[in-house]
């Protein structure tokens, strides 16, 4: 199980939760598990079945684009952060 931090921009899609537990061996699996249980997240996270280019995912504080992308392995107890761009000031 990994802990996934849900950004405020996506909380409406998951019933207001700030953090969710999700299963998976890789980032792609974890996101699939989340989207399966919270289908409203789909269009916010994925484009053509791939991670959308405007969504940043961090595992253990590192951007998965600098690791193995959505193939980055996720270990039990890892923390994932979904980081959206926010413009408010």
Is the distance from CB of 58 to CB of 83 less than 8 angstroms? Answer: yes
Min separation Cβ 48 and other proteins, Å: 14
| Cβ-based nearer residue to other proteins, 28 or 59 | 59
| Cβ-based nearer residue to other proteins, 28 or 44 | 44
At residue 8, the 3 state secondary structure works out as helix
Min separation Cβ 1 and other proteins, Å: 19
Both tokens assigned to 57: 């995912």
Min separation Cβ 60 and other proteins, Å: 9
């Amino acid at each position: 199980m990994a802990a996934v931090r849900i950004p405020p921009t996506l909380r409406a899609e998951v019933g207001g939760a700030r953090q969710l537990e999700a299963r998976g061996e890789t980032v792609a699996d974890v996101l699939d598990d989340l989207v399966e249980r919270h289908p409203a997240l789909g269009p916010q996270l994925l484009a053509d079945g791939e991670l959308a280019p405007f969504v940043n995912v961090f595992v253990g504080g590192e951007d998965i684009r600098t690791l193995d992308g959505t193939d980055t392995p996720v270990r039990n107890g890892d923390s994932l952060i979904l980081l959206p761009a926010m413009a408010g000031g």
